[in-house]
Chain A
Amino acid sequence: MKASRTMFVLLGLTLAASTSFAEPKVVIQYDCIPNYANWGGVTAAYEKKTGVRVPPDMKGSSAAMAALDAEKRNPLADVAYYSGAIGFQAAEKGLHQPYKPAAWDKIPATLKDPEGRWFAVHTAAVAFIVNRAALKGKPVPRTWDDLLKPEYKGMIAYDDPTWGGTSYTLVYGRNILMGGTNTDFGPGLAYFRKLDSNIVHYPRESVYNDVLRGEIPIWINADGNGLKMKYVDKGDIEVVIPEDGSVSMPLVMGMVAGAPHAKETKKYLDWLFTDEAQALFAEAFFMPVIASALPPDLASKFPSNKEYEVVRDLSLADMSAAANSLKQAWLDQVKNRK
């Protein structure tokens, strides 16, 4: 008698545990880091509005593209988010299907693919995110050359460019700024080789937590992340646009070819360009691509226009074409040369 009672309990538990694994309405987005560009807030708002879940995903741009590539025959994802160069590359590889979101005409021509295989949702600029408290009195670096100074030894980090698109953009961008070209990586890589002695390590995932705590004092990454640390998380952070030049980074999305939830995905993409969603991106200090959606109170918190003058826009096509060879060259010459 006791045995059968326990049996029932167990059976009940089994049923409870295994049911409701049925999938609710979902859109799967690769590279949907909650604390990056406020994807957490954006997806929460969307779920509240429509009941459709977009679960968090921690892949970096290159990792997302690699996953799409691996799943080509049996796509699991509906949409992916990347740094511009990688998104462009993914589209070139045929991993995306063309789709023009409802607000198509409002997106600037330079920030979208004519056929709709990729389009920018917001933009950022490469900056130094500096934890002033962690510097312990040392001056805040203002230029790329400043970073080479020995006083910053063991204090700097930038993500592994073979994983994250932001870092790939900054490596490519620095090369161009120093006079290199799409095929000549010499100047840029020479710089990064020198910088290596000041580098703590090359993270393969976000180090937002570490930088905010001061574990890593200087992070070369998107300005938006630093601004969020400063204004939302109230860290003692300064976001520095390098005075000797920087590069802008459009952050793009593309609808995956063969997306399992195509209908829901299209609605989701449409919604991302509404003022409501764009303003949410702005809350994490990523510049909305639909300029009119930027709330004025947030606009004042971005660095001044004057500082942004040195930021160059680069051709995504060029960046994408050089991607494989630059990544490999970086691996060979900077990371693995020990």
Chain B
Amino acid sequence: MKRPILLIMILPALALIFSLLVWPLALLFVSSVQSTGNAIGAAPGRAGLSLSNYVEILTDPWYFGALVNSLWLSFSVAALSILLCLGPAWLLVRGDFPGKSWIRALFTLPMSFSGVIVGFLVVIMLGRIGFIPQFMESLTGRAFLSGSAYQFTGLLVAYIYFEVPRALLTLESSLKKFDFQLETAARSLGAGRWQRFFWVVLPNLWPALLSTFSLTFCVSLGSFGVALIISKRFALMPVEIFQQFTGFLNTGLASAMCIVLVAIAFTVNYGLRMLSGRREVPSA
């Protein structure tokens, strides 16, 4: 009814998102189809539009490797986080024990840690002279896991560390909505614990799991702080973008890499959403 006022109320948000996200991303796409060339290298920029940057990402083993690494890492992190959080989430929803809010607080603490801090923590724990390898060495005489901070394992640990809070909270809230009557009914019909889990709980949780997965995946994909500190020989996309832009002034290539990541994030987000939409189980 009061149209003008409503418009004014939502205008700032609209202005924000369009001028700061939509328009710049569009320009980024334009920049990505221009070949700006490597500041130090033998590849000079060429005028005109071309898909050469995208081709380079796909064909150069280093860049493509970085892309694959990023994707695989994000996928693993998302999957493992969900697995790790399923239990605690169940516990937090169903169980009622003293100190529950403390446990929740403990779990969700890392969520707002800056990525750099998490990275540094992992180096301290799992670096060449990390806390854990030294502990292992004092126990067994051999420094297990030394230097693993810079390999896939270490990266996995770091990412999972700050994704777990997010996954946990999301799962917890979805579990709250879960109609436990269904489970009780199944039990009274004689279904065993695992049967109940696979045939009653999981299908109902599926949409929530998918959306948690997509959020965790996307955040991991774009996480820059952690990558900057611990991705050394294990190339990751956000760091490559940074290097191309800041070090080599190759804006075109950096833009193309960004667009690729954005496109992937988009696809995963909406793809999974569509997937879970169709699978919606009506509540009994």
Direct contact of A and B (CB under 8 A): yes
Residue numbers of A with Cβ under 8 A of B are: 62-63, 66-67, 69-70, 134, 154, 162-163, 200-204, 210, 213-216, 323-325, 327-328, 331, 336, 338
Does B278 interact with chain A (Cβ within 8 Å)?
A: no
B150 touches A162 (CB 8 A): no
Closest Cβ neighbor of A204 among chain B residues: B243
Does B195 interact with chain A (Cβ within 8 Å)?
A: no
Number of B interface residues, CB 8 Å?
20
Neighbour of A201 across the interface among B39, B41, B233, B247, CB < 8 A: B233
Q: How far is the CB of B133 from chain A (nearest CB, A)?
A: 11
Since A162-B248, A201-B150 are in contact, a sample of 15 more A-B pairs with Cβ atoms closer than 8 Å, ordered by chain A residue number, is A62-B40, A62-B247, A63-B246, A66-B39, A66-B247, A66-B249, A69-B249, A162-B40, A200-B147, A204-B247, A214-B128, A216-B128, A325-B42, A328-B40, A328-B41
Residue numbers of B with Cβ under 8 A of A are: 38-42, 61-62, 123, 127-129, 147, 150, 232-233, 243, 246-249
Give 7 pairs: A residue, B residue, CB < 8 Å, sorted on A: A62-B40, A67-B246, A162-B40, A200-B150, A210-B127, A215-B127, A338-B62
Q: What's the Cα separation between A202 and B129 when bound, in Å?
A: 18
Q: What's the Cα separation between A103 and B158 when bound, in Å?
A: 51
Closest Cβ neighbor of B65 among chain A residues: A338
B41 touches A66 (CB 8 A): no
Contacts A201-B150, A336-B62; A324 near B233 (Cβ below 8 A): no
Q: What's the Cα separation between A204 and B246 when bound, in Å?
A: 11
Enumerate chain A residues within 8 angstroms of B248, measured Cβ to Cβ: 66, 162
Q: How far is the CB of B36 from chain A (nearest CB, A)?
A: 11
Q: What's the Cα separation between A138 and B12 when bound, in Å?
A: 64
Mostly, the B contact residues are loop
Q: How far is the CB of A285 from chain B (nearest CB, A)?
A: 25
Q: What's the Cα separation between A16 and B123 when bound, in Å?
A: 39
Residue in B38, B61, B129 whose Cβ sees the most chain A Cβ within 10 Å:
B129
Q: What's the Cα separation between A200 and B230 when bound, in Å?
A: 12
A163 touches B40 (CB 8 A): no
Q: What's the Cα separation between A74 and B128 when bound, in Å?
A: 44
A162 touches B247 (CB 8 A): yes
A163 touches B247 (CB 8 A): yes
Neighbour of A214 across the interface among B42, B129, B247, CB < 8 A: B129
A328 touches B246 (CB 8 A): no
Q: How far is the CB of B149 from chain A (nearest CB, A)?
A: 9
Q: How far is the CB of A45 from chain B (nearest CB, A)?
A: 29
A215 touches B40 (CB 8 A): no
Q: What's the Cα separation between A202 and B38 when bound, in Å?
A: 20
Enumerate chain B residues within 8 angstroms of A200, measured Cβ to Cβ: 128, 147, 150, 232
What 6 A-B pairs have minimum CB-CB distances, sorted nearest first?
A: A201-B232, A328-B41, A327-B40, A336-B62, A324-B40, A215-B127
Enumerate chain B residues within 8 angstroms of A134, measured Cβ to Cβ: 129
Enumerate chain B residues within 8 angstroms of A213, measured Cβ to Cβ: 129
Closest Cβ neighbor of A335 among chain B residues: B62
Contacts A154-B128, A200-B232, A201-B150; A215 near B123 (Cβ below 8 A): yes
Q: What's the Cα separation between A200 and B61 when bound, in Å?
A: 20
Residue in B39, B40, B41 whose Cβ sees the most chain A Cβ within 10 Å:
B40
